[in-house]
């Protein structure tokens, strides 16, 4: 079994993380979901992602690490399709490229390959360095920095393609990948919070999807109801198990 890693910076993302935690508990997955102090801006907070993953790699050696953004929900065991023979089980890192082009950092898979573990840690440090170098440049999205770090790694790393099911954007992926059953579904909270702050406005497709998930969880169709929570992850979690609130979606946003 691998380790699911995530983080948030307190409200309003703490409530989003609570939904993720409930889904992980219900599936009996091992996880660490950490609360860190805000760094003052959405971009700076997102840039902490590589540090969180590096910490998990160093703190839990010989462990396969699956990073997931805090505003996601996990519908079924994500490791079933990731482990074993094949590119995903033998790679150093796997990310999803939306429409085959845009690198998404909402889900990142890093199986432990001992003979190449140093290369992975070097990638994470390079990613962190680029975050610092590029923070004042007009980089369209932070995930573009991950793409640059991967591109600079050359042949040192084996990079695989994560399936759309494991980095499923609740509205956009439905249009681009019809018929795909989401395993890890990203609810794109940053669209709302960056535009509306912590107002908690409930409208738009994101709000409708959250309500649908809540209703299906209460019916027992999805593993996100508190009444269906299984064993907690072996690692600790700091956060509250409350449901997040949502606001409107901006057309064309891809924050994953």
Q: Specify if 256 maps to a domain.
A: no
Q: Specify if 169 maps to a domain.
A: yes
Q: Specify if 241 maps to a domain.
A: no
Q: Specify if 242 maps to a domain.
A: no
Domain containing 194 — which CATH number? 3.90.550.10
Domain count, the chain: 1
- Tens of pLDDT, residue by residue over 189-230, are 777 665 555 545 544 877 878 888 876 766 555 555 432 333
Q: Specify if 123 maps to a domain.
A: yes
Q: What is the 3-state secondary structure (H, E, C) of the chain?
A: CCEEEEEECCCCHHHHHHHHHHHHHHCCCEEEEEECCCCCCHHHHHCCHHHHHHHHHHHCCCCCEEEECCCEEECCCHHHHCCCCCHHHHCCEEEEEECCCEEEEEEEEECCCHHHHHHHHHHHHHHHHHHHHHCCCCCCCCHHHHHHHHHHCHHHCCEEECCHHHCEECCHHHHHCCCCCCCEEECCHHHHHHHHCCCCCCCHHHHHHHHHHHHHHHHCCCCCCHHHCCCCCCCCECCCCCCCCCCCCCCCCCCC
Q: Specify if 170 maps to a domain.
A: yes
pTM: 0.81
155: containing domain = 3-228
- Would you write out the chain's pLDDT as a tens digit for each of its 256 residues? 799 999 999 988 898 899 999 999 999 999 999 999 999 888 889 889 999 999 999 999 999 999 999 999 999 999 999 998 899 999 999 999 999 999 999 999 999 987 788 889 999 999 999 888 766 555 556 788 899 999 988 787 899 999 999 999 988 898 999 999 999 999 987 776 655 555 455 448 778 788 888 767 665 555 554 323 333 333 333 333 333 322 222 223 345 5
């Amino acid at each position: 079994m691998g380790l699911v890693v995530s983080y948030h910076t307190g409200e309003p993302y703490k409530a989003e993380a609570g939904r993720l935690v409930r889904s992980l508990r219900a599936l009996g997955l091992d996880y660490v979901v950490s609360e860190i102090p805000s760094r003052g801006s959405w971009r700076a907070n997102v840039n902490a992602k590589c540090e969180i993953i590096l910490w998990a790699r160093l703190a839990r050696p010989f462990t396969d690490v699956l990073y997931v953004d805090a505003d996601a929900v996990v519908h079924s065991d994500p490791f079933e399709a990731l482990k074993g023979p094949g590119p995903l089980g033998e790679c150093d890192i796997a990310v999803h490229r939306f429409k085959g082009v845009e690198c998404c950092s909402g889900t990142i898979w890093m199986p432990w390959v001992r003979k190449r573990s140093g290369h992975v840690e070097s990638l994470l440090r390079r990613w962190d360095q680029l975050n610092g170098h590029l923070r004042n440049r007009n980089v369209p999205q932070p995930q573009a920095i991950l793409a640059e770090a991967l591109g600079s790694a050359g042949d040192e790393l084996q990079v695989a393609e994560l399936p759309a099911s494991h980095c499923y954007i609740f509205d956009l992926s439905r249009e681009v990948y019809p018929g795909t059953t989401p395993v890890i579904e990203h609810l794109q909270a940053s669209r709302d919070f960056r535009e509306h702050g912590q107002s908690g406005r409930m409208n738009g497709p994101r709000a409708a999807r959250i309500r649908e998930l809540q209703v299906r969880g209460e019916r027992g169709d999805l593993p996100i109801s508190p009444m269906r929570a299984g064993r907690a992850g072996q690692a600790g979690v700091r956060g509250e198990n409350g449901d997040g609130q949502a606001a409107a979606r901006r057309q064309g946003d891809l924050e994953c």
